[in-house]
Amino acid sequence: MPILFFIIKQKINNMACDISLGRLEPCKDSLGGLKAIYLINYDSGLYANCTFTSEEITALTTPVTCYKYELKGANSFDEANEISRENGTSFWTGTGTFVLKKQDLATQKELKLLSYGRPQIIVEDYNGNFRLAGIKNGCECAVNTASGAAMGDLNGYNITATSQEGEMAHFIDGDIMDDAAGFVVTEGV
């Protein structure tokens, strides 16, 4: 009889938020930093357009156009989990900091529009990973210009993008990047 009680108790305590897997220490073959960002004009139906396999976006029901911005130097995307036991809430705040070198009229026009909208942003890191920030709510983007004071200072743009979502930024299968049936990439000139 005590064994039956244990089985029932274990089943009751097995909630959807219980973890089910451990993690070994990985090899030291990872790189920090971002290689590029891909900006998507906000699409409220983007989440519904995605096919998920184990929380990774593996297909889209209709293609999505995105605009690639190459990055060099110190660029990052970080996420912080914010929780409240009192309110029973848990969400993720993503913050991306991106530096675009050299000011020009065409980029300035695009970045002004970026600050007015709330795009979804794909970040590509140096490990070949693609992640989608702002999938449901979009990202708020603040753009600052920098002229530099000394000859070697930055003349360009600093972008800070912030997202708040119920989940971490989803990984994207690299096979659907720059694919006619997936994320269609438009590159700059």
Question: Whose CA is closest to 37, among 115, 99, 101?
Answer: 99
What is the per-residue pLDDT across 39-92, written as a single tens digit (0 to 9) for each? 999 999 999 999 999 999 999 999 999 999 999 999 999 999 999 999 999 999
Instruction: Locate 186 and state its tokens.
Output: 């438009």
Specify the pLDDT at position 2.
54
Burial 118-146 (b: 16+ CB within 10 A, else e): bbbbbbbbeeeebbbbbbebbbebebeee
| 10-residue averages of pLDDT along the chain (189 residues) | 50 67 83 96 95 95 96 95 94 97 95 97 97 98 95 95 97 94 88
d(C-alpha 118, C-alpha 134), whole Å: 9
With CA atoms as reference, report the closest residue to 162 among 137, 185, 129, 145.
137
Q: What is the pLDDT of residue 14?
A: 52
From its phi and psi, is residue 128 left (phi > 0), alpha (psi between -120 and 50) or beta? left
For residue 8, the model assigns a pLDDT of 47
